[in-house]
Amino acid sequence: MELAKGGVRWALPVVVYVCCCLVFLLNLNSSNGVEASHNVFMHLQSLSAVNVRKEHRTGYHFQPTKHWINDPNGPMYFNGVYHLFYQYNPKGAVWGNIVWAHSVSKDLINWEKVEHAIYPSKPFDKYGCWSGSATVLPGNKPVILYTGIVDDKNSQVQNYAVPANLSDPYLREWIKPDNNPLIVSDPSINATFFRDPTTAWLGKDGHWRITIGGRRNRRGISYLYRSRDFVHWVKAKHALHTSAGTGNWECPDFFPVSVSGTNGLDTSVVGPNVKHVLKVSLDATRFEYYTLGSYEKDRYTPDPDMIDGWNGLRYDYGNFYASKSFFDPSKNRRILWGWANESDSTDKDIKKGWAGVQLIPRTLTLDPSGKQLLQWPVEEVENLRKNKVELSNKILNKGETVEIKGITAAQSDVDVTFSFGSLDKAEPFDPSWDRYDAQKLCGQKGSTVEGGLGPFGILTLASQNLEEYTPVFFRVFKDQDKYQVLMCSDASRSSASVDKTKMDDGKDAYRPSFAGFVNVDLNEKKLSLRSLIDNSVVESFGAGGKTCITSRVYPALALYGNAHLYAFNNGSETVKIDSLNAWSMSKPVKMNH
Ligand code: DQQ
């Protein structure tokens, strides 16, 4: 009943939220073109989808049957079941009326929708139930911490919720006890930038810790709170970490990684063979940045060679935001979930009746160099593979393209290793280029501009005659005494403007040339690439997951059976497809139907 009135109640807070973000964005004078904080369209928030358009819906990426989704919330493994909660508008295809929707799975691929877990109903979350995390407490007791919006000024507090019935394997019902809120801001905190509590970790002193994102002026902050009993929380004198000029930190994530193996670690693990990761979602850029570092005396210090700001390492150089990781004890791994927003217009989202997908969960490990993370799709996704096709030792001379036939290219998994005989033809890296603006470089030197070593890669979601395609490719540059490997996922030609009755008439869509550099050793003269292609998603992993890029694209021709996949080389150096394996991907049997 409370929920039914949500539309009106949300008006002011969301406007304030977005205004704050916009003012802040202007202040920082930054925009890379990625859509700013969830745009607010009051008149559209409760416009329920009547017909859901299937075109461009994903086959195996997580989507509810209709309406808007954003951040993954509180992922956890509990008694044999994976739980994924997510920010969801039950009433329309734009951001608003947000509840914690809830789906459960035994394999991270097949998902069953259950009742919404948390929704505005109490004074401490009357104006919104925003993002948060789950912690499984000793005694196998899950608890959720989430941000509640308490007034029309958009003030934020931190609340908790617990399962009503621990013997229900799906934990369908959640209770928000009356001693909420657990944490309110003190006068030193701007209550409108105080959100997204992390999974808690337990210190050797028996006290729990969490961190909460925010900002003071332009300094991004990760506040630290401690508690002995999980109910009474005290702010530490010092933040876990701050960084000047980075703006508001959303959805922080803080966890250990092993330096001596690939197993994931429970969030409370500390010790000599452990490094820590702090990830923040930067509201101003809509990218996610992380550093590796050390955690001592409740302070996090990035390693000296880490860039602690906008030019730092990103989880993904494309459309990937508000991610959250969790430790999966059943397979001793750390898993990362990220959200990919749509890239087309709000008008199109309304027409489609849906917006947003969760990307395929990724296993996170530390690269042997200790200087970055590696991400790789969870192994379970491979159960969807069928109709394998293979290619090996295939030479690609300059200007050559080869079609990979025999799979449903619109919904596929492609894993390819390219090799080359020499690095001599790598183009010189112009010292005037911005080493941190790979996207700009990719925009200038796309897949068709002839190069030396590269561009080579694959053309995904391509129409037969290449009127449209999304290339994912490498281009190697010689930069003084080292090589720079540029990886691009270029949406600029992803849709042919051919038919205005189609979903994408070529207008409104944001079609960036997303790109990142790949810190890879080229001694073996090989580069590998894996792409998960799913109708409107191209999720790519360069060099074993060193650099990841996700694009959302809306082909007009390359739909379903009309989509093609090619490998290509537009560099003067001949490259060889050492091996290529590609599969059609089935739909999961269960996906929130
Ligand atoms: N989305 C949530 C916030 C979070 C933001 C609101 C990040 O809690 O900061 O839907 O996308």
| CATH number of the domain encompassing residue 416 | 2.60.120.560
Do 211 and 318 fall into the same domain?
Answer: yes
Do 296 and 411 fall into the same domain?
Answer: no
Task: Tell me how far the alpha carbon of residue 500 lies from the centroid of ligand 1, in angstroms.
Answer: 34
User: Quick one: which atom of ligand 1 is closest to the CA of 147?
Assistant: 8
Task: Tell me how far the alpha carbon of residue 32 lies from the centroid of ligand 1, in angstroms.
Answer: 19
Secondary structure class of 384 (helix, strand, coil): helix
In a domain, residue 296? The reply is yes
Which tens digits make up the pLDDT trace of 191-237? 999 999 999 999 999 999 999 999 999 999 999 999 999 999 999 99
- The average pLDDT across 174-178 equals 98
CATH of the domain at 370: 2.115.10.20
Answer whether 348's CB lies under 8 Å from 495's CB.
no
In a domain, residue 121? The reply is yes
Task: Tell me how far the alpha carbon of residue 300 lies from the centroid of ligand 1, in angstroms.
Answer: 23
Which residues does residue 291 pair with via DSSP β-bridges, in sequence order? Answer: 278
Do 316 and 391 fall into the same domain?
Answer: no
DSSP state of 333: E
Helices (H), 353-493: 438-444
Rounded Cα distance between 197 and 143, Å, is 12
- The average pLDDT across 495-516 equals 73
In a domain, residue 6? The reply is no
Which tens digits make up the pLDDT trace of 530-572? 999 999 999 999 999 999 999 999 999 999 999 999 999 999 9
The DSSP bridge pattern shows strands 67-78 and 354-355 to be: parallel
Pocket test for ligand 1, best of 24, 70, 358 (most atoms within 8 A of CB): 70
Torsion of CA 100, 345, 473, 379, to 10 degrees: 20
Answer whether 320's CB lies under 8 Å from 339's CB.
yes
pLDDT-derived band at 47, boundaries 50, 70, 90: confident
pLDDT of residue 504: 57
Task: Verify whether ligand 1 is closer than 6 Å to residue 288 (CB atom).
Answer: no
Answer whether 580's CB lies under 8 Å from 404's CB.
yes
- The average pLDDT across 508-520 equals 93
pLDDT-derived band at 2, boundaries 50, 70, 90: very low
Task: Verify whether ligand 1 is closer than 6 Å to residue 282 (CB atom).
Answer: no
Do 152 and 278 fall into the same domain?
Answer: yes
Do 396 and 367 fall into the same domain?
Answer: no
Task: Verify whether ligand 1 is closer than 6 Å to residue 565 (CB atom).
Answer: no
Asked whether residue 5 carries a pLDDT value surpassing 60, the answer given is no
In a domain, residue 593? The reply is no
Task: Tell me how far the alpha carbon of residue 33 lies from the centroid of ligand 1, in angstroms.
Answer: 19
Do 338 and 477 fall into the same domain?
Answer: no
Task: Tell me how far the alpha carbon of residue 88 lies from the centroid of ligand 1, in angstroms.
Answer: 11
Task: Tell me how far the alpha carbon of residue 133 lies from the centroid of ligand 1, in angstroms.
Answer: 12
In a domain, residue 4? The reply is no
Asked whether residue 72 carries a pLDDT value surpassing 60, the answer given is yes
Percent with pLDDT over 90 in the chain: 87
Task: Verify whether ligand 1 is closer than 6 Å to residue 14 (CB atom).
Answer: no
Asked whether residue 303 carries a pLDDT value surpassing 80, the answer given is yes
Do 428 and 537 fall into the same domain?
Answer: yes
What would the two tokens of residue 302 be? 């990035």
DSSP state of 359: P
What is the full DSSP assignment across 539-592?
Answer: EEEETTTTEEEEEE---SS--GGG-EEEEEE-BSS-EEEEEEEEEEEPPPS-B-
- The average pLDDT across 425-435 equals 95
pTM above 0.85, yes or no: yes
What would the two tokens of residue 230 be? 């999980």
Do 365 and 494 fall into the same domain?
Answer: no
**Longest CA pairwise span in the chain (Å):** 69
Task: Tell me how far the alpha carbon of residue 333 lies from the centroid of ligand 1, in angstroms.
Answer: 26
What would the two tokens of residue 115 be? 């009742």
User: Quick one: which atom of ligand 1 is closest to the CA of 131?
Assistant: 8
Rounded Cα distance between 311 and 309, Å, is 6
Task: Verify whether ligand 1 is closer than 6 Å to residue 251 (CB atom).
Answer: yes
Ligand 1, atom 11, lies closest to the CA of 322
Rounded Cα distance between 575 and 593, Å, is 44
Answer whether 114's CB lies under 8 Å from 103's CB.
yes
Task: Tell me how far the alpha carbon of residue 71 lies from the centroid of ligand 1, in angstroms.
Answer: 6
DSSP state of 5: G
In a domain, residue 254? The reply is yes
Among the ranges given (144-148, 345-349, 560-564), the one the predictor scored with the smallest mean pLDDT: 345-349
Torsion of CA 586, 589, 591, 593, to 10 degrees: 130
Q: How many CA atoms lie within 13 A of 489 on its CB side?
A: 26
Task: Verify whether ligand 1 is closer than 6 Å to residue 322 (CB atom).
Answer: yes
Q: Structurally, how many domains does the chain consist of?
A: 2
Of the candidates 121, 27, 128, the one whose C-alpha atom is nearest the C-alpha of residue 70 is 128
Q: What are phi and psi of 230, to 5 degrees?
A: 75, 0
pLDDT of residue 30: 39
Range of the domain at 525: 385-586
* Cα four-point dihedral sign 406, 412, 413, 414: positive
The DSSP bridge pattern shows strands 400-403 and 564-569 to be: antiparallel
Task: Verify whether ligand 1 is closer than 6 Å to residue 147 (CB atom).
Answer: yes
Q: Which residues, 6+ apart, have CB-to-CB distance to 23 below 8 Å?
A: none
**205 included as an active-site residue:** no
User: Quick one: which atom of ligand 1 is closest to the CA of 251?
Assistant: 9
Task: Verify whether ligand 1 is closer than 6 Å to residue 196 (CB atom).
Answer: yes
Cα angle, residue 339 at apex, residues 334 and 345 outer, rounded to 5°: 170
User: Quick one: which atom of ligand 1 is closest to the CA of 283?
Assistant: 7
pLDDT of residue 167: 97
Task: Verify whether ligand 1 is closer than 6 Å to residue 129 (CB atom).
Answer: no
Do 93 and 48 fall into the same domain?
Answer: yes
368 burial (CB, 10 Å; 0-12 / 13-18 / 19+) is: exposed
pLDDT of residue 44: 86
- The average pLDDT across 30-55 equals 72
Ligand 1, atom 10, lies closest to the CA of 130
* Cα four-point dihedral sign 8, 57, 114, 81: negative
537-542 sheet: strands from edge to edge: 385-396, 575-585, 411-420, 526-534, 537-542, 547-552
> Where is the domain boundary, 311, 345, 377?
377
Do 222 and 194 fall into the same domain?
Answer: yes
Asked whether residue 49 carries a pLDDT value surpassing 90, the answer given is no
In a domain, residue 66? The reply is yes
- The average pLDDT across 113-121 equals 97
Asked whether residue 322 carries a pLDDT value surpassing 70, the answer given is yes
Asked whether residue 25 carries a pLDDT value surpassing 70, the answer given is no
pLDDT-derived band at 465, boundaries 50, 70, 90: very high
What would the two tokens of residue 129 be? 């139930």
Do 320 and 252 fall into the same domain?
Answer: yes
- The average pLDDT across 312-332 equals 98
Of the candidates 70, 98, 97, the one whose C-alpha atom is nearest the C-alpha of residue 84 is 70
Mean pLDDT of the chain: 92
The DSSP bridge pattern shows strands 482-490 and 385-396 to be: unpaired
Pocket test for ligand 1, best of 39, 85, 86, 250 (most atoms within 8 A of CB): 250
Answer whether 183's CB lies under 8 Å from 157's CB.
yes
Residue 268 CA, chain-centre distance (Å), reads 23
Task: Tell me how far the alpha carbon of residue 429 lies from the centroid of ligand 1, in angstroms.
Answer: 38
pLDDT of residue 26: 37
In a domain, residue 1? The reply is no
> Where is the domain boundary, 355, 377, 399?
377
Task: Verify whether ligand 1 is closer than 6 Å to residue 283 (CB atom).
Answer: no
Do 19 and 75 fall into the same domain?
Answer: yes
User: Quick one: which atom of ligand 1 is closest to the CA of 37?
Assistant: 11
Asked whether residue 32 carries a pLDDT value surpassing 50, the answer given is no
Rounded Cα distance between 239 and 287, Å, is 22
User: Quick one: which atom of ligand 1 is closest to the CA of 87?
Assistant: 10
Rounded Cα distance between 5 and 9, Å, is 7
> Where is the domain boundary, 377, 409, 436?
377
pLDDT of residue 41: 85
- The average pLDDT across 104-114 equals 98
pLDDT of residue 23: 39
Cα angle, residue 160 at apex, residues 159 and 161 outer, rounded to 5°: 135
User: Quick one: which atom of ligand 1 is closest to the CA of 250?
Assistant: 9
pLDDT of residue 152: 86
